[in-house]
Amino acid sequence: MVSQAARAGDSAKKGAANRKVKLSVRNLTIRYGDVVALNNANLDIYENEVMGVIGPANSGKTSFLNAINRMSDMRSNMTVEGEITFNGVNIRDWRNVYALRSRIGVVFPLPVGLPMTIYDNVTLSPRLRGITDKRVLDETVERCLTRAALWDEVKDRLNHLGSMLSGGQQQRLTIARALSQDPDLLMLDEFSIAVDPVTTMRIEDVLKELKSQMTIILVTNLVQQANRLADRTSFFLNGEHVETGETEALFEGRTQDQRTRDYIEGRFG
């Protein structure tokens, strides 16, 4: 309850008018071959907000994330039309797609502990960008693991294989790795799918803290998770962006579309 009140306070303070748009999506259509995964989506995501994205399977949520960091470049059958503007620049105008991706942290549904040490997992991104100073890397490891609520559990075995950690720990390691690049935008794709409820709550607490430092897109199949975390929530259904609204309003039943209300109240999907 406290967090809900705090959240309401937050959004009131910001005010709808002077919110800064972090990511703007216009007429976004994503296709795999002839199959349309997302059709003509339009929405804005504001700075330092948690945007929840809910919807049943196959509604285009993951495709939406893949379009944002241009993972579509690597997939020959995936075509993206429309405009996505990140920090005021069309993402297609980033000539160096790797620089774009290093501004955006991604956490996948299944934890991916890369088969290297915990230390190397967290420092991979800085090392890719050419940072070799041991002190900087040490500091990054401690900072990111602490922010991901994993430091206390692994600080004595940083040289162990990251892929040998438990599922929940690997997922927090993935979050630490995503944070190591100091992203402006953190995208989480159903992060709690392979994580136990206790770890899920810990990660949710982490996300609440991170909100002050970055924008978060939280794709989730748990409607209540969106309710707990998101400032605003978008509902996707069968490749259609049905609506986006204040989470509180949506969960109190003030939806523009009946389907959103039905989904939130568990009447289908």
Partner 1 sequence: MSDITAATTAEAAGDRLDKNWMIDKGLQALMFICGFSAIIFVLGIFIFVFKEGAEFVAHKMDFAEFFFSPKWRPTSLSNPTYGILALIAGTAAITALSMAICLPFSLGAAVFIGEFAKGKTREYLKILIELLAAIPSVVWGFIGLAIMNPFIIKTFDVPIGLNVLNSSLILALMAAPIVTSLAEDALKAVPDAYREAAEALGATRWQMIYKVIIPAAKNGLLSAALLGVGRAFGETMAVLMASGHSINMPTSMFDSVRALTATIAAELGETPVGSDHYQALFAIGIFLFIITFVINLAADLIVRGVRKG
List of residues 6+ apart from 269 with CB closer than 8 A: 55, 56, 237, 263
Q: Pick from 116, 131, 136, 249 the residue near partner 1 by CB under 8 A.
A: 116
Part of the chain binding partner 1 (CB under 8 A), chosen from 71-79, 85-93, 190-198, 256-264: 71-79
CB of 53 to partner 1, least distance (A): 17
Q: What six digits make up the tokens of 113?
A: 């502990």
Q: Pick from 14, 26, 127, 208 the residue near partner 1 by CB under 8 A.
A: 127
Containing 102, the helix (H) or strand (E) segment is helix 97-102
Part of the chain binding partner 1 (CB under 8 A), chosen from 70-78, 85-93, 141-149, 261-269: 70-78
SS3 of residue 23 by DSSP = strand
Q: Pick from 11, 102, 169, 227 the residue near partner 1 by CB under 8 A.
A: 102
Q: Which residues of 12-41 are buried (b: 16+ CB within 10 A; e: fewer)?
A: eebeeeeeeebbbbeebbbbeeeebbbeeb
Residue 142 to residue 145: CA distance in whole angstroms: 5
Q: Pick from 7, 177, 228, 232 the residue near partner 1 by CB under 8 A.
A: 177
Q: Pick from 106, 141, 145, 242 the residue near partner 1 by CB under 8 A.
A: 106
Positions in the binding site for partner 1 (CB under 8 A): 69, 71, 74, 76, 98-102, 104-106, 108, 110, 112, 114-116, 124-125, 127-129, 161, 174, 177-178, 181
